[in-house]
Structure 1
Amino acid sequence: MKSTYVNESSLSIWDIFILQKDKQELIRCSYQHDDIIKLMNEFCMYSPFIVKSIVEATGRTKLLQGAAESMDEIFESNHDVSQESHTSWLYLPPELKLMILENLSTNDLIKLQCFDEAEAVLKGAYALYEGE
């Protein structure tokens, strides 16, 4: 695994899937299904670790996208048309929003996810107000 390199990068399969040195490369690789199947067949002993890395990477990607959507909704709801300024979250390109959100921990990204009211009730978000 250490001698097998991915694409044209200087990172080996070991670096990407086991050590997770480059999360972006891991995410890119996780969407190449044929290559992943070939890797898992070639390195059967490490296939559980490869799968775990892919699941974590794709899960974080979904969290990042959800957090970006939540931030957009927050800023849109608080957007004041009278103070039309182009220095807001809303005017940032999507790539830059994701670059900013990548610095947050997974727990912080989970807190930023949009939930509808039914999901919030199920998750206990209203438990604080039930006693009042």
Structure 2
Amino acid sequence: MWSTSSLALSVALSVAVTAALPPPRPATPALHPIIANGSSVAVPYMCEAFLFCSVAEPTCQVQWRDPSNAPLPAWSPTASRYHLGSGKHLPHDYLVFHDFLQEQEGLYTCVARCGAGQEGRASVTLTFEPQSVPCP
């Protein structure tokens, strides 16, 4: 049987050790994709747009999705919008619009995936901005 003084010492020692330990780290990395361009971008008609999304965890894969939640295609010579950079051990991806059109407006989402079912998302709204002068 514990005496009152040894029980008090045990509780005090336990509290002191617990307070000195750093907070527990999550078992899985937190996924927080960051879109460098912000959460809203206005793109002039027929101009190019480049959006950049990255994640701090180097083992994650990053992918862009269009307003219907479909994955965007990789670069091709005829594509008006595509992604560049995603792949194994590349925790970033570019979304490129070549000749932005009004029908391409909407909410685009950067999805980061790591390990077994871990996922993080960030979105950006692209809007059409009419202009009277040609793109630079």
TM category (shorter chain) comes to under 0.3
Larger helix fraction of residues: 1
Give TM-score scaled by structure 2 length: 0.23
Q: Whose strand proportion is higher, 1 or 2?
A: 2
TM-score, with structure 1 as normaliser: 0.23
Structure 1 or 2, whichever has the larger Rg, is 2
Structure number with the bigger relative contact order (C-alpha 8 A, sep ≥ 6) is: 2
